[in-house]
């Protein structure tokens, strides 16, 4: 799992694009950083919670 530094992703040395994540994983990560739950992310992205959990595991 990627470690998000205090202050969010922009505060770290790596940008999201350098983490080699898929576009969907990047969306999920951004929502996780906003504090959204898996259920909230699933609703926002029109996915099942199980699919969100798979993306979270891959991050």
Regarding the domain delimited by 9-58, which CATH topology (the fold level of the hierarchy) does it fall under?
Arc Repressor Mutant, subunit A (1.10.10)
All structural domains of the chain with their residue ranges: 9-58
Q: What are phi and psi of 34, to 5 degrees?
A: -80, -5
Express each pLDDT in 5-47 by its tens digit. 555 655 555 565 566 899 999 999 999 999 999 999 999 999 9
* pTM > 0.75: no
Residues 6+ apart with CB under 8 A from 41: 28, 31, 32, 47, 52
Q: What is the pLDDT of residue 4?
A: 62
């Amino acid at each position: 799992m990627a470690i998000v530094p205090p202050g969010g992703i922009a505060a770290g040395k790596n940008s999201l694009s350098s983490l080699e994540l898929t576009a969907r994983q990047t969306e999920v990560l951004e929502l996780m950083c906003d504090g959204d739950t898996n259920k909230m992310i699933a609703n926002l992205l029109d996915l099942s919670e199980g699919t969100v959990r798979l993306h979270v595991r891959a991050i």
